[in-house]
Amino acid sequence: MKVAVRTLQQKKFEVEAEPQHTILDLKEKIGGVQGQLAEHLKLFYAGKTLTDDSSSLESLNMTENGYLLVMVVKASSYRLEQVLLVLNSHY
């Protein structure tokens, strides 16, 4: 199935997905198009934030005219500091 996606800047594109794919699978596909990591993406459908990455696309009951809104969220500086600390501790 083709999933219509819009950004906050009104850019529109489509990604190919299967009903059994998860929200995380979809984030990874969208991230590939947008040049972003999946964990930096927040998805919205029918006015709701898609927070459960393990939910299937089938469970969303997407309609033919429906679309996902994608928003890029910056990693918090605290989380980034934690990642850098972990990386530095390995050297």
Please state the domain extents for the chain.
2-89
Residue 70 in contact with residue 43, Cβ under 8 Å?
Answer: yes
Whether residue 77 has pLDDT greater than 50:
no
Q: Which of 12-21, 26-35, 60-69, 82-91 has the lowest mean pLDDT?
A: 82-91
Residue appearing with tokens 């594109």: 13
Distance CA 60, CA 65 (A): 13
SS3 state of residue 54: coil
Which fold, 2-89? Ubiquitin-like (UB roll) (3.10.20)
Rounded to 5 degrees, what angle do the CA atoms 17, 23, 13 make? 50
Angle at 40 between CA 38 and CA 42, to 5 degrees: 85
| Poorest-pLDDT segment among 10-24, 39-53, 76-90 | 76-90
- Calculate the average pLDDT of the chain: 83
